[in-house]
Structure 1
């Protein structure tokens, strides 16, 4: 039973979606996702697949940084672990796609557990530096463990196969990456309705108080690192299947900054922020390409685009921290409230 916003059953209070309006919007969104690949061209399908991969990785980073309060600049390195794991398993054993992706997530999770060990002693800037050091170590491994990673030449990945069909186009790949990303989002949404997710939030808000209340900090910090890295590993595996060629330079430190920018711009500590931020930040380089293409510049545009993109990411972080620290998700919520009250506003 429900009257207004009051909830009278435990099941209703625990429901992810609790109104007919929400279910209606979900149905519209599902129809749009199904119809999109039949209406979009190859370029927009490419962007849609890339956005889905980035949403998965940004969600993982948001679990660690937004919900647990642990800053990490190693997300790209964990994606690399997942990507190389998928590439090796696909090339050597030819295992099913889902097995490879889960294995990539598991290897990245193991790396996350190891990198998360310093989190009990250090936090903030010092923890960020520790994760940068870990990413540099992994980059060294990717570059020099030639027998496994192929060294600087990298590895080539065969296209993913489902039921004997090669997912070798953006149209076909879309039908794998979008459902997996949705499952990752649903998993994260349900995580924070459990004891583990609430422990993460308690650690973020006041870790000393959380420890006094009986929350073992090391266990839950390591678990947060592990879950975040698992998401990054799966996203990295999808990245490998999508681009089908990986090198150590595929996962630079700037990619980690990209994902940190995404959750800051989108809104830390919210899944909607992960979605909006990853989508927005993925589209920024595409917009920059158009702008640079319009400018009367004779030099190669790609030489200009890389530093300009880094500058833009930095400006976005500074701008949102100053003017809208809650990110795009707060702008969306304010817009919702405005239209909800619009007929009665003075």
Structure 2
């Protein structure tokens, strides 16, 4: 019976894709994402783009909750900051006469930077409180951000309750003015975000995050600065969510405040729980499930009940019940989420025919 994998170097031990089945799965997903615009219809591109946008945000949530162990329910606010900031910066650069081809290269880092700064401010309570108290504090920050977007004081920049028209980015003279074209940018940013965050946890900073998650007092005794690393965690997480918001602004013709309210924060956390907290592929699996479940319900209920108003009214509570059931089920029976299930599956494939169970 095979009871382990023989490794002959530290480099081999550090590999993420440590068997051929994992490599085939990941490279197959990359190939599918690249090929999708050439054969998929508009509806499939829409769903894939929504998965990509939410995936970037869930990767950011994973930094704070999954790796640093700080419970946050306010990340929808960071997504909103990214969406509004990138649009506002584009408008300002246009007024200042900056060429269109340079605007995205300034607006995207600018939006991520603004989101990171707000993330540091929102993360300050984590130095004094934790658990449910920190969740309430970050949730309050989400409400404050949406309130500031909607009030008349800033409506000349944010558009208030009427929303803000978003720009079409121009990369090297290529104007991304269709959803199919923006999908390519979203897919690239999603893969780049996963890769960069995964490699972050091979560094001193990432190990400090994990030490704080396991026991913050012990980490502090060992020389880990809670002030520095907790705020760094919030900054990186908020920057990822800001990038997701910027992608949403490029994808949609208009952004509205109600797109970034509590429901989005709960969806981000639900996707992380279902997929697996503190795992590289957890956000990927969780995001796919959370985005596709409503569509599967819509299609199945449409087939059973038709496209009546009653069916649409019934679908909303059923969707919430399904989400709640998924979260409860994974918390009780598989706390490490779908990622752990897939790991067991790939290990079994790798050791076949000796694997059991």
User: Could you say which TM-score interval applies, normalised by the shorter chain?
Assistant: over 0.9
Q: Which residue of 1 aligns with 2:76?
A: 76
Mean Cα displacement is larger for which, 79-88 or 297-306?
A: 297-306
| CA distance in structure 2 between the partners assigned to 1:237 and 1:123 by the alignment | 29
Query: CA offset at residue 295 of structure 1?
Result: 3.9
| CA distance in structure 2 between the partners assigned to 1:260 and 1:267 by the alignment | 10
Q: Note closer, same or farther for the CA distance 1:105–1:38 as it changes in structure 2 (3 Å cut).
A: same
| CA distance in structure 1 between the partners assigned to 2:296 and 2:52 by the alignment | 18
Q: Which residue of 2 aligns with 1:100?
A: 107
Query: CA offset at residue 26 of structure 1?
Result: 5.1
The correspondence of residues 1-346 of structure 1 with structure 2, limited to 5 A, is: 5-8=6-9, 11-14=11-14, 16-17=16-17, 27-94=27-94, 96-144=103-151, 145-296=154-305, 298-299=308-309, 301-345=311-355
Query: CA offset at residue 21 of structure 1?
Result: 6.7
| CA distance in structure 2 between the partners assigned to 1:314 and 1:22 by the alignment | 30
1:278-332: CA deviations, max 9, x gaps? 1111111111211332343742654444443333222211111112111001111
Q: Is the 8 A contact 1:57 1:231 kept in 2?
A: yes
Structure 2 length normalisation: TM-score?
Answer: 0.90
Q: Which ranges in structure 1 are unaligned for 5 or more consecutive residues?
A: none
Q: Is the 8 A contact 1:199 1:220 kept in 2?
A: yes
Q: Which ranges in structure 2 are unaligned for 5 or more consecutive residues?
A: 95-101
Number of aligned positions between the proteins: 342
| CA distance in structure 2 between the partners assigned to 1:34 and 1:47 by the alignment | 15
Question: Secondary structure at the residue paired with 1:116?
Answer: helix
| CA distance in structure 1 between the partners assigned to 2:330 and 2:177 by the alignment | 38
| CA distance in structure 1 between the partners assigned to 2:316 and 2:231 by the alignment | 34
| CA distance in structure 1 between the partners assigned to 2:348 and 2:92 by the alignment | 56
| CA distance in structure 2 between the partners assigned to 1:162 and 1:64 by the alignment | 31
| CA distance in structure 2 between the partners assigned to 1:5 and 1:12 by the alignment | 10
Q: Note closer, same or farther for the CA distance 1:154–1:301 as it changes in structure 2 (3 Å cut).
A: farther
Mean Cα displacement is larger for which, 94-103 or 108-117?
A: 94-103
Q: Note closer, same or farther for the CA distance 1:185–1:133 as it changes in structure 2 (3 Å cut).
A: same
Q: Is the 8 A contact 2:143 2:261 kept in 1?
A: no
